[in-house]
Structure 1
Amino acid sequence: MVGWAIALHGGAGDIPVNLPVERRVPREAALRHCLDLGVSSLKSGKHPLDVVELVVRELENHPNFNAGVGSVLTTQGTVEMEACIMDGKTKRCGAVSGLTSVVNPISLARLVMEKTPHIYLAFDGAEAFAREQGVETVESSHFITPENIERLKQAKEANRVQIDYTIPVQKDLTGNVPIPNSDSQLGTVGCVAVDRHGNLASATSTGGLVNKMVGRIGDTPIIGSGTYANHLCAVSATGKGEAIICGTVARDVAALMEYKGMSLAEAAGYVVDRSVARGTCGLVAVSATGEVTMPFNTTGMFRACAAEDGHYEVGIWP
């Protein structure tokens, strides 16, 4: 018998230590609320797959995170959401990309896993499948917040594609020197869980990068990059998708445990410190024996975890 454990994240990146209270507090409260929801679900005997879906749905519905409502905008000012879910014991998984109307992308990803012979559906095909399955859809304006319209404007002015928490820059009164603006970016969301029987699951959901090209797909829905679970561990990553894809981040954590005999913390630490560039990645992970780890190589990562041994943590910075 092992102990249950759960961890979740709300994005990693260049989060300023002087993040204004009005931006920090609602996110910390949301993380705590979602953690408590996950813990009570695990304690009541729910399967980790149900738990991670439930928690990520809750995070998608929160406008302060870059998933579902609050998703960042493409270069054309549109929303293209993606999500992925995976069951560790069976390695069954489902992923979706390019969603513009689905209220909870993570639940559609699970339906892809359970109701189709496929793993990954995208764009028009995924939207059609959502309608066929009767999942809740809305006008895409539902997902767009005033903050993200402003973020896209800043990203276009700076001529860049922004990671979850790049600090936008504003010019000083002379119009020359860039001054960091305290408005932090929103973050991808994810959750991993293990129950007392060693069942593992991982789920991740995102709106992608600010000012991304239309049609760009990140690490979140790619099995082994942003999301992975097997019989040893469950991993959900966040940060710069392109770097996470190149580093096969989530799968590497599992591989180091399987082939090198590393502990969860050693494997995750190795990947975050040595497989990807600094400032690009963070992850949350749990093992089949109830260990939890949440390393990152960015300034900060919105994160929370709890375990049966009494460990409970909500944090942003190291």
Structure 2
Amino acid sequence: MGGWAIAVHGGAGVDPDLPRERQEEARNLLTRCLNIGISALRSSLPAIDVVELVVRELETDPLFNSGRGSALTEKATVEMEASIMDGPGRRCGAVSGITTVKNPVSLARLVMEKSPHSYLAFSGAEEFAKQQGVETVDNSYFITEDNLGMLKLAKEANSILFDYRIPLESCGAAVENPQLQMNGLPISVYAPETVGCVVVDSQGHCAAATSTGGLMNKMMGRIGDSPLIGAGTYACDLCGVSCTGEGEAIIRGTLARDVAAVMEYKGLGLQEAVDYVIRNRLDGGGKAGLIAVSSKGEVACAFNSVGMFRGCATEDGFMEVGIW
């Protein structure tokens, strides 16, 4: 075993003209989350505890699209989703359609540990949250002024996928000249955001967690890749993976599971597997990225979008935070 390693992400798909101050905000948040994870790993917390801890921090800060600051549905509400997976035994839990739970990733873990199921959604998930006594807030807690402005622009363009970190002044040109598609339909601005964390602890145990508010101006009831085990999240005895990007393409490619599969069946190393999956498993021009760790203490990332908010660290002192 090569010691512990951790990686975090705040979403793939970055506006190339993102203002420098917002870039710095993102770097600072990723650095803070990495340091939280590093401290926990140095204290010998197991991987599953660390991924939950870090994603909770990302959900609480409104900078990225998860928890507070989540993208809004077509009805100007928030429907969040999250999943978590523990490599040993491949235990997992997931939730969708969350409207009041302050930290969806923790509810996903409770589904894993306190229910006979792996996935709960909408009213069933909310009822389970009440039974478990988790912290809840009004749906308005998750809604920011930035996202309300983005939703207005998205509705005017009859489109989806605006993100609040895209400068408002740049959206008009994108609306007039849509160049991208999702599932064959034109979209105006593609900037999906999700948060995630992958960890291998000093025992060689891997875990992964992913959380998101989904797409801006999405249809009510839409479920993306983030809560789908094997698509947005996966962990086993070989690796832990968290994905971000075009959910529909990630689902079709079962992206997270494929990393583990090519490691197991093709004998690829972690970075080779990550690169292979991003290069070969995103059909239809899908844009995505992922972070991964291996049971050997390796860490890797890859993306085919303009950028991906990410950071990683290893026990030997390596630490890096990047966007482009």
Place the TM-score, normalised by the shorter chain, in its bin.
over 0.9
Counterparts of 1:182-261 in structure 2, within 5 Å, are 187-261=193-267
- Paired position in structure 2 for 1:288: 295
Please say if 1:169 is aligned against 2:168. no
- Paired position in structure 2 for 1:2: 2
SS in structure 2 at match of 1:170: helix
SS in structure 1 at match of 2:88: coil
**More displaced, 15-24 or 223-232?**
15-24
Shift of the 164–9 alpha-carbon distance from structure 1 to 2, 3 Å rule, reads farther
Distance 1:18 1:169 in 2: 11
Counterparts of 1:126-165 in structure 2, within 5 Å, are 126-162=125-161
- Paired position in structure 2 for 1:94: 93
- Paired position in structure 2 for 1:305: 312
SS in structure 2 at match of 1:57: helix
SS in structure 2 at match of 1:295: strand
Match of 1:275 among 246, 269, 281: 281
Please list the CA deviations of residues 86-108 of structure 1 after superposition, one character each: whole Å capped at 9, or x if unmatched.
00011000000000000000000
Question: Equivalent pairs: percent with the same residue?
Answer: 61
- Whether the 8 Å CA contact 1:80–1:100 is kept in 2: the answer is yes
Superposition RMSD on alpha carbons, in Å?
2.0
Q: How far apart are residue 187 of structure 1 and its match?
A: 2.1
Q: How far apart are residue 151 of structure 1 and its match?
A: 1.0
Please list the CA deviations of residues 262-289 of structure 1 after superposition, one character each: whole Å capped at 9, or x if unmatched.
0011111011111104451000000000
SS in structure 1 at match of 2:123: helix
Please list the CA deviations of residues 1-50 of structure 1 after superposition, one character each: whole Å capped at 9, or x if unmatched.
4310000000001x233311232111110000000000110111000000
Q: How far apart are residue 163 of structure 1 and its match?
A: 6.8
Return the TM-score normalized by structure 2.
Answer: 0.92
Distance 2:249 2:176 in 1: 31
Distance 2:176 2:199 in 1: 48
Q: How far apart are residue 153 of structure 1 and its match?
A: 1.1
Shift of the 184–315 alpha-carbon distance from structure 1 to 2, 3 Å rule, reads farther
Stretches of structure 2 that go unaligned for 5 or more consecutive residues are: 179-188
Distance 2:82 2:16 in 1: 29
Please list the CA deviations of residues 133-189 of structure 1 after superposition, one character each: whole Å capped at 9, or x if unmatched.
1100010000000011111111112222217689562159xx9779xxxx9957210
Distance 2:322 2:190 in 1: 16
Distance 1:104 1:216 in 2: 19
Shift of the 71–131 alpha-carbon distance from structure 1 to 2, 3 Å rule, reads same
SS in structure 1 at match of 2:57: helix
Stretches of structure 1 that go unaligned for 5 or more consecutive residues are: none
- Whether the 8 Å CA contact 1:83–1:109 is kept in 2: the answer is yes
Please list the CA deviations of residues 211-230 of structure 1 after superposition, one character each: whole Å capped at 9, or x if unmatched.
11000000000000000000
Amino acid of the structure 1 residue aligned with 2:280: R
Distance 1:272 1:97 in 2: 25
